[in-house]
Structure 1
Amino acid sequence: MRTREERKSVVTYKVNSNPALCFACIKNRVGIVKYLITECDADIEQRGFYLEPTQTTGIEAPPPRFHSRIFVDYWFLLGGEVVETYDLLGAFHVDDDISKCLIVWTKILEIRSRSDLWVTNLNCITNNPEVFQNVKKVLTVDEVQKLTDPNDIHMQALLKYYRIYGENHVNTSSEIMYRGEVYLENGCYQACINLWKYAYRLRFKEEDPLDRNSINSACKVIYALCEMQRACANSSTTDKLDINDLIATIELLVNQIECEKRFLRVFPINLADLEQYQYLMELTLHCIHLYQCLKSNTYQCDKFINRLCHLVDLDPRGTFNQTLMHLAINVNISKIESDENNRFSSADAVRILLLCGANSSSKD
């Protein structure tokens, strides 16, 4: 039997800049593929060397030829990891070539139908987040062939990322953020907000409140809410800003600010961390402005104001020890990054902050 080093050298050997396995797959050299997979599989640590080549091959080679000659014959050798790689491969093509996406998913389900184990595993997946528009998971070839609505196919792709990577994996949240961006560009504001709120909730971790991805998600949610409100005011959308979205967002923001305050008490403070902290404070002021634009019942008003009162009690401070009130009177506070379209009067934020008990004469 070959040593670990010898197996690694075989698997990583390159032909024309491609891993040997990738080259053999493209050339449809079944015997060489089988040999390389067998050598690789002898050491579980080397599995990664064929996961990427097989995915690359699936992109470059015509799916019917590659899948029928090699993948179908040796999927048991490759194991579930590679089967799932092809689920992801279909999702990868969902925007540039839906027909190729469906071909890949169809082939995978044909393979799974040969094993009771895989069918059982698929049927055990019952956790389907509502944010994916309650789309039904496709479990059979017939169900894939009935997919005609592009939106349903996009949601199927998100479900596959969710099922394979898990909800807390960076790839899952990144794909959710991307799909939200597509919705926003097409004026589907509520669908975008639903996805971005979910991604923000996934990315925020109390043990790492300064994570840049979670802060970026918070900014994206506020931006989408502001864009929806502006479009609504211009009568360019039928979507209406929902106070419940705003309440959910302010709750996440206040929770993150509170966690960051505890974090900054324990760990050495640097300017970059303080800037991120202040940025979240500024985003809460956008929430206040949006709140002013809404008509809501007493219970909803109380819920929003209660979270804001808690934020005022926390007394967060910015890069130069600014309070929320200091930030509210800044002429540039109503900008999200460099966007000029979402400006609002600072008087809106100041009035609500005073209502929540903010100190108008604070100098510390």
Structure 2
Amino acid sequence: MDFKTVVFNAARDGNLTRLKQAYLHSWRSADELNMLVGAKVGGATPLVIACRNGHYDVAEYLIERCKADIEQPGSVTFDGETIEGAPPLWCAAAAGHLPLVKLLVRAGANVNSTTRTHSTPLRAACFDGHFDIVKFLIENGADIEIANRHGHTCLMIACYKGHIRIAKYLLSLNADVNRKSVKGNTALHDCAESGSLHILKMLLGHGATMDVDSYGMTPLLAASVTGHTHIVEHLINVEYGLVTRQQRIDALELLGATYVDKRRDMVGALALWKRAMDDRFPTDGSEPIPKPKDIPRIEAYDYAVEPSNAQQLEEILADPDAMRMQALVIRERILGPAHPDTSYYVRYRGAVYADAGRFARCRQLWHHALDMQRAVLPPLSPLTQSSLYSFAELFSYMLAERARPPLRGRIVPPVTFEDIDPVFRKALSEVDRGMELLDSKLSIDREQTLSTLQRVLVISLHLAALMARLLDDPECTEEVSRKIHKAVYSLVKLDIKVRQGRGALHVAVSTEGGRGRGARAWPGAAADAAVPAPLVALMLRLGAKPDARDADGNTPLHLVCKLNPCPADVVRALLAHGAHIDTVNYEGDTAEQLLKASQQSLADIVNPLRYTTLKCLAARTVKNYRLPYRHAVPHCLHSTIITH
């Protein structure tokens, strides 16, 4: 084991004896030792990992004897999340190791150093409620107002996590109680969302105001969305005069919707809606506030109309579905389509219907959620991706269930082209929007956008694979077959390029296509397969280029032959549609050579001679013997020689 690994393991395990032995028995110069002590294993230096794990004596030895850099950052994991660029002091503060924090500060560590996401050691201590560390860092110069990249301050995170003592201490130091994050939320929003009434009262006592965030959410609505009734009741108390009558009504109605969807408490929801109704139509002679009359009736919500009096409210209690639709209607009216919770609960309700076997209602609601997202969110939004992927998973599940004997008499309806096609068209539209974004002159992270575009392409291919599978159904008519071919052709003709310069066929035949988030295999493929052979064959018939190259010179055939096991039917389909068997990539490898690298044989799949022409043999000879050909053969044959 090399010196670097020995030192790292000793730091990780807190083995000071082993660390001293490694250091004292090393023959290296002081400069080289210092360099090795600062070397990273798994993204972390020995000092970073010692501070993360609380090994004081090891950290002290690394700092004082080995002269480790106390500011050199590394990668560490907390609660399953990897923190990049974390300095040793941040690691010690986040993990709650006060003696180590004091050691590092005495050694001169910068108390305001930050991680890659601009989180300070103080904010890390506030996150997990390490009050003694918070107090020590502030007393030694830590700035309480430094926010992370999202604009979240130490006060905000203490309020969100419910750390009363820390929040009180920060407020005593005049922390900015109304400072806003990048998305416009304040500490009062965070407190209302987390549900700490004690902290809420402290914030209000220090002048916190009812501001709105970028979604138009007040702290009152944030409490209603999360179902913190005690927070809502405190804020709407007329004695405090914190909110208007309209805000109070909205809060009660939204809280009722939360009762329906999160608590499944229909009676409690009805009681809240009745209170809101009484507030709308008071008996003290105040001006009534009727519900808006221009709210469109939405098919996905069964054209539900909100009740306008107490009697109509009582009537819907007898119909659980009507109550659920009321919750969705109210949430969309108050929060608007741009708020993530609006589409989330529409999707949630659709999933509940799917679990109950009501797949048509599920699709109806999911389409509405997807349409809302696409109307208000930027191209390639993760929320839009998630909705599209849910459709693909639903269709895959239905097809799989259809192939099994009915469970307890439950009959799963067939998946038709008419079911898949609207989702497929929306997925392709999202791909189009992504390609336009790449072509635009907007300042974007091109690599990140390409990665996101590839994920949407994978979902589109997933849906296309489901349609290709329908072609094998004996009941598939010529008209449906024609529509499927037309739909998949619209994907092929996009001529899209994603990461590594790969096109749709490259992605379809590679592992990136079949094993995305949550996917075990392409739908319709064998349990151990990763590539949808029917889709690949269909794309080839529709004009997908079998010899297209990616940035590494790989054709789809190269990528297929890198898989282990290699899907033989896909190899045959590619060769049957003109893929060149002995094309070399930019590393000089043929498909056959790539197969051999994983102890597989092309001869076990096809007869290579069947796909080898005299021209191929001649080109190989020219290349193998490095014959001068540029002036000896026609120019039109140069590309053939180069590909070999």
TM-score by length of 2: 0.46
The equivalent residue for 1:251 is 425
Report the Cα distance in structure 1 between the residues aligned to 2:227 and 2:462, rounded to whole angstroms.
47
Task: Please report how far the alpha carbon of residue 248 of structure 1 lies from its aligned counterpart in structure 2 after TM superposition.
Answer: 0.8
Report the Cα distance in structure 2 between the residues aligned to 1:104 and 1:180, rounded to whole angstroms.
24
Matching residue within 533, 540, 546 for 1:347: 533
CA contact (8 A) 2:338 2:377 kept: no
Report the Cα distance in structure 2 between the residues aligned to 1:118 and 1:166, rounded to whole angstroms.
19
Residues 130-179 of structure 1, C-alpha deviations (whole Å, 9 max, x = no match): 11133343222112212223222111100101111222332211221222
The equivalent residue for 1:319 is 499
* Aligned 1:121-270 pairs, distance under 5 A: 121-122=291-292, 124-146=293-315, 147-205=317-375, 208-234=378-404, 235=406, 236-266=410-440, 267-270=443-446
Task: Please report how far the alpha carbon of residue 49 of structure 1 lies from its aligned counterpart in structure 2 after TM superposition.
Answer: 6.0
The equivalent residue for 2:274 is 106
Report the Cα distance in structure 2 between the residues aligned to 1:168 and 1:53, rounded to whole angstroms.
18
Matching residue within 17, 31, 36 for 2:199: 17
Q: Percent identity?
A: 19
Report the Cα distance in structure 1 between the residues aligned to 2:220 and 2:365, rounded to whole angstroms.
33
CA contact (8 A) 1:22 1:56 kept: no
Report the Cα distance in structure 2 between the residues aligned to 1:57 and 1:361, rounded to whole angstroms.
57
CA contact (8 A) 1:21 1:54 kept: no
The equivalent residue for 1:78 is 244
Report the Cα distance in structure 2 between the residues aligned to 1:320 and 1:117, rounded to whole angstroms.
62
CA contact (8 A) 1:167 1:202 kept: yes
Task: Please report how far the alpha carbon of residue 336 of structure 1 lies from its aligned counterpart in structure 2 after TM superposition.
Answer: 4.6
2:304 maps to amino acid: V
Task: Please report how far the alpha carbon of residue 93 of structure 1 lies from its aligned counterpart in structure 2 after TM superposition.
Answer: 0.8
Task: Please report how far the alpha carbon of residue 326 of structure 1 lies from its aligned counterpart in structure 2 after TM superposition.
Answer: 1.7
The equivalent residue for 1:279 is 455
Residues 92-150 of structure 1, C-alpha deviations (whole Å, 9 max, x = no match): 1114122111110122112223366522x34x144121111333432221122122232
1:229 maps to amino acid: L
Alpha carbons of 1:210 and 1:49: their partners in 2 closer, same or farther (altered >3 Å)? closer
Task: Please report how far the alpha carbon of residue 22 of structure 1 lies from its aligned counterpart in structure 2 after TM superposition.
Answer: 9.1
CA contact (8 A) 1:22 1:57 kept: no
1:284 maps to amino acid: S
CA contact (8 A) 1:192 1:224 kept: no
CA contact (8 A) 1:51 1:82 kept: no
Larger Rg: 1 or 2?
2
Alpha carbons of 1:77 and 1:116: their partners in 2 closer, same or farther (altered >3 Å)? same
Q: What is the root-mean-square deviation in Å for CA atoms of aligned residues?
A: 4.1
Of the structure 1 ranges 173-182 and 79-88, higher mean CA displacement relative to structure 2 is found in 173-182
Instruction: Determine helix, strand or coil for the equivalent of 2:547.
Output: coil
Report the Cα distance in structure 1 between the residues aligned to 2:431 and 2:295, rounded to whole angstroms.
34
Residues 317-340 of structure 1, C-alpha deviations (whole Å, 9 max, x = no match): 231222221222235633452332
Residues 19-76 of structure 1, C-alpha deviations (whole Å, 9 max, x = no match): 27999xxxxxxxxxxxxxxx979x999x94666678899713898xx99x956x9999
CA contact (8 A) 2:424 2:464 kept: no
Report the Cα distance in structure 2 between the residues aligned to 1:53 and 1:344, rounded to whole angstroms.
45
Residues 332-361 of structure 1, C-alpha deviations (whole Å, 9 max, x = no match): 633452332754332211122123321122
Report the Cα distance in structure 1 between the residues aligned to 2:227 and 2:499, rounded to whole angstroms.
50
CA contact (8 A) 1:209 1:260 kept: yes
1:286 maps to amino acid: H
CA contact (8 A) 2:252 2:273 kept: yes
Residues 204-242 of structure 1, C-alpha deviations (whole Å, 9 max, x = no match): 259821221111221112111212222233244333324
Gaps of 5+ in 1: 1-7, 24-38
Alpha carbons of 1:208 and 1:185: their partners in 2 closer, same or farther (altered >3 Å)? same
Report the Cα distance in structure 2 between the residues aligned to 1:210 and 1:179, rounded to whole angstroms.
24
Alpha carbons of 1:118 and 1:70: their partners in 2 closer, same or farther (altered >3 Å)? same
1:163 maps to amino acid: R
CA contact (8 A) 1:354 1:360 kept: yes
1:359 maps to amino acid: K
Gaps of 5+ in 2: 1-177, 179-187, 189-195, 526-531, 551-644
The equivalent residue for 2:489 is 309
Report the Cα distance in structure 2 between the residues aligned to 1:320 and 1:154, rounded to whole angstroms.
46
Alpha carbons of 1:239 and 1:128: their partners in 2 closer, same or farther (altered >3 Å)? farther
Alpha carbons of 1:15 and 1:188: their partners in 2 closer, same or farther (altered >3 Å)? closer
Instruction: Determine helix, strand or coil for the equivalent of 2:493.
Output: helix
2:506 maps to amino acid: H
CA contact (8 A) 2:465 2:522 kept: no
Alpha carbons of 1:310 and 1:40: their partners in 2 closer, same or farther (altered >3 Å)? closer
Of the structure 1 ranges 232-241 and 190-199, higher mean CA displacement relative to structure 2 is found in 232-241
CA contact (8 A) 1:223 1:336 kept: no
Report the Cα distance in structure 2 between the residues aligned to 1:55 and 1:335, rounded to whole angstroms.
35
Instruction: Determine helix, strand or coil for the equivalent of 1:118.
Output: coil
Residue 88 of structure 1 pairs with residue 262 of structure 2: no
TM-score by length of 1: 0.76
The equivalent residue for 1:362 is 548
Of the structure 1 ranges 207-216 and 218-227, higher mean CA displacement relative to structure 2 is found in 207-216
Report the Cα distance in structure 2 between the residues aligned to 1:129 and 1:113, rounded to whole angstroms.
26
Report the Cα distance in structure 1 between the residues aligned to 2:363 and 2:348, rounded to whole angstroms.
12
More helix by share: 1
The equivalent residue for 1:34 is none
Of the structure 1 ranges 266-275 and 98-107, higher mean CA displacement relative to structure 2 is found in 266-275
Alpha carbons of 1:237 and 1:53: their partners in 2 closer, same or farther (altered >3 Å)? closer
Alpha carbons of 1:341 and 1:310: their partners in 2 closer, same or farther (altered >3 Å)? closer
Report the Cα distance in structure 2 between the residues aligned to 1:305 and 1:357, rounded to whole angstroms.
11
CA contact (8 A) 2:223 2:231 kept: no
